Amino acid sequence: MILLKEGIEDLQTDVKTNKQYAVSLIQALTELRKDVSNDGRVFQDHQKILSSILSSKTTGLEADEAHMKEIMEILSHFRQVESDGYKVVCWPAIGTWIAGGIMIATAKINLAQFQPAFEALNQTIDQKKTVNRIVFTASQNVSEMTNAINDAVKSLQYMVDQWNDLDSQYAGVLQSIEKADEKATANRFAFLKPMLDTAKDSWKTLKTDADTLKEGLKELKIEPVNTPK
């Protein structure tokens, strides 16, 4: 009976310790969520101003893309003319040599003219798309971080609820043992063994989850409050 009581008391101590550990993680995450939310609101305000400023730099994106498509079609056309010109000059006749030479020369002139314009326009479009992508991604990351923190807090609260439930169960068992007849044997409480084994397995799982969240907080430079062992 004494060994059973001591075993339950030890397990109950572990439960209380890990419950406090989970509570400290919730406190750290709640503070982090508060900071992220504040930063997020500030960022949203700045995003509006930034978007307004950048709109003048990214205006006409669709028109630029349409223009680039036209240039690409022109370049494709004159590349084909150049290719056909080389085929024509292969024919052994003066007329074909002259015609092919004119085709090749015309193609090269136009390619030299439109290729730089294509490259410059392509660079402009890339810059505009990059600016829009950076602003959108930054805003999205703030939202995703807030959602991730909310999920973590929910998981930790579930852990705390489990600790509370286990703590209540062990307290009830200890009270039953205290009130039991002194002549009672541990066999009267043999039914507790499966429950304790299940609780221990649950504790191991929750402990692993808590450790995983702790490592995640380290990456965010957030440390949970130290709890007495």
**How does pLDDT run across 169-224, given as a tens digit for each residue?**
767 666 665 555 444 445 555 555 565 566 556 556 655 655 665 565 555 444 44
Flag whether pLDDT at 123 surpasses 50: yes
Tell which wins on pLDDT, 53 or 125: 125
Helix (H) or strand (E) holding 133: helix 94-179
Place 49 in a pLDDT band, splitting at 50, 70 and 90: low
State the pLDDT at residue 77: 92
pLDDT confidence of residue 173:
64
pLDDT digits (tens, 9 = 90+) for 15-26: 777 777 777 777
Q: Does position 39 have pLDDT exceeding 70, yes or no?
A: no
Domain 2-219, architecture per CATH: Up-down Bundle (1.20)
Task: Give the range among 1-10, 41-50, 65-74, 219-228 with minimum mean pLDDT.
Answer: 219-228
* pTM to 2 decimal places: 0.38
Mean pLDDT of 7-12: 68
For the chain, what are the domain ranges? 2-219
What is the predicted pLDDT for the residue at 228?
A: 42
Three-state DSSP at 159 gives helix
pLDDT at 125 over 80: yes
pLDDT of residue 85 exceeding 80, the answer is yes
Query: What is the token pair recorded at 198?
Result: 């299940």
Whether 52 shows a pLDDT value over 80: the answer reads: no
DSSP 43-82: HHHHHHHHHHHHHHHHTTHHHHHHHHHHHHHHHHHHHHHH
Q: How far apart are CA 129 and CA 62, in angstroms?
A: 11
Nearest alpha carbon to residue 29 among 157, 199, 167, 122: 157
Residues 6+ positions from 56 with CB-CB distance below 8 Å:
none
| Neighbouring residues of 126: CB distance < 8 A, sequence distance ≥ 6 | none
Which of 2 and 164 is assigned the larger pLDDT? 164
User: Residue 222: its pLDDT value, please?
Assistant: 41
In the chain, % of residues over pLDDT 90:
2
